[in-house]
Amino acid sequence: MKTSLVTSAVLHALVLTWALVSLGSPADFEVADVEAMPVDMVPIEELTKLQQGDKEAPKAEVPSVTPTKRPDTVENAENVGENKVDIKTPPKPDAKPSNNESAAAPEKTEKALPTPDPAKEDSKEITEEKPASEPATEVASLPEPKQEVKPDPKPEEQPVEEQPAENPEAEALPDKVPTPVAKPKLEKPAQTAKTPERKNEENKKEKKKASSQNESDFNADEVAALLNKTDPANGGAKSGKTEKAFGASKTTGNTLSQNEMDALRGQIQKNWSSFAGIEGLEGMILTVSFELDPQGNIVGEPEVETTGGSETARRTMIGSVRRAILKSLPFQGLPADKYDSWREMVVNFDPSSMSIQ
């Protein structure tokens, strides 16, 4: 037995040594030399929406606005221009004549003020316009004046645009332009470019004559536009980071993505407590429309319309929905550059299934 035990031990020692030597390190897996391929999830909206760029510039892969000479000072600015402040005046394709116009605006007001008729109206307009020269965030809180201003400059733009083609003087100006643009104060524009002022004044006079013979019944909105001392074309502080490239004058079709909508829904849903056991919820739909400011806070009160369901249930649900929305303010995660698309929100509540569309 002893001999066989020794034999066995020796055999084991031999086998173990062999195993340690030959089976010791198994061959590593040969990993094929494949490079990792980055995959991006691209939402379809990126392809469908119009993106802000320069209409005259050559086409490039990514539309880009004209780069300004000064670096951006305002984050998330929406409008193109050389200003330090993002001002919500609609951008114009050609900066030079509009610049002149802005220079003209204060002059005009000075002349307009002595006229007896709209002194009160003027003061109102001025108070409304003042926020426009304040930082971008503040400006955004008053979306209404922006809308009012919009339609008016447009008729003015057309004659202004035509003018530079006729006058070589206007074209000669561009180099000097940027400095006054940067400071939309009252004094400086008066000193610079005097000739365009006259032309603008003439334009406006002509226009006024065309629109209404009486000076007394002039359009208040027009005055508002005139009182706007900031340059409409170069009002914004947004700047392209690359060479300017072909694109629309404004980014449109910029709807909220599904994720952003889901996030919004989630914020409301979180604060929407259900009323289990209420009768008459069948087929009831509550449509809530409200307006948001750029910070995601509500402007005014949410309007609730209901269809279907019983009267008592409606009343309860209107209160519940209203509370849910007010409780979830301010809405988080809404992209600032898509403010146009979420400024006015319409949210449908379906109480029978506790779902929000």
Binding site for other proteins (CB under 8 A): 1, 3-5, 7-9, 11-12, 16, 19-20, 23-26, 28-29, 31, 36
CB-based burial, 315-352: b 16+ in 10 Å, e otherwise: ebbbebbbebbeebbebeebebebbebbbebebebebe
In the complex, what is the shortest distance from the CB of residue 3 to other proteins, in angstroms, rounded to a whole number?
A: 8
User: Between 26 and 277, whose beta carbon lies closer to other proteins?
Assistant: 26
In the complex, what is the shortest distance from the CB of residue 11 to other proteins, in angstroms, rounded to a whole number?
A: 6
User: Between 33 and 279, whose beta carbon lies closer to other proteins?
Assistant: 33
In the complex, what is the shortest distance from the CB of residue 1 to other proteins, in angstroms, rounded to a whole number?
A: 5
**Cα separation, 193 vs 207, whole angstroms:** 22
Task: Determine how many CB atoms are found less than 10 A away from the CB of residue 36.
Answer: 5
In the complex, what is the shortest distance from the CB of residue 28 to other proteins, in angstroms, rounded to a whole number?
A: 6
Residue 62, helix vs strand vs coil? coil
User: Between 19 and 172, whose beta carbon lies closer to other proteins?
Assistant: 19
User: Between 5 and 210, whose beta carbon lies closer to other proteins?
Assistant: 5
User: Between 31 and 210, whose beta carbon lies closer to other proteins?
Assistant: 31
**Cα separation, 94 vs 340, whole angstroms:** 23
Residues 6+ away with beta carbon under 8 Å from 7? none
User: Between 25 and 191, whose beta carbon lies closer to other proteins?
Assistant: 25
Q: Where in the chain does DSSP place strands (E)?
A: 285-292, 298-307, 344-350, 355-356
User: Between 17 and 123, whose beta carbon lies closer to other proteins?
Assistant: 17
Amino acid at 291: E
Instruction: Give how far Cα 210 sits from Cα of 37, 118, 204, 207, 218, Å.
Output: 64, 20, 10, 5, 12
DSSP symbol at 174: G
Counting every residue written for the chain, the total comes to 357
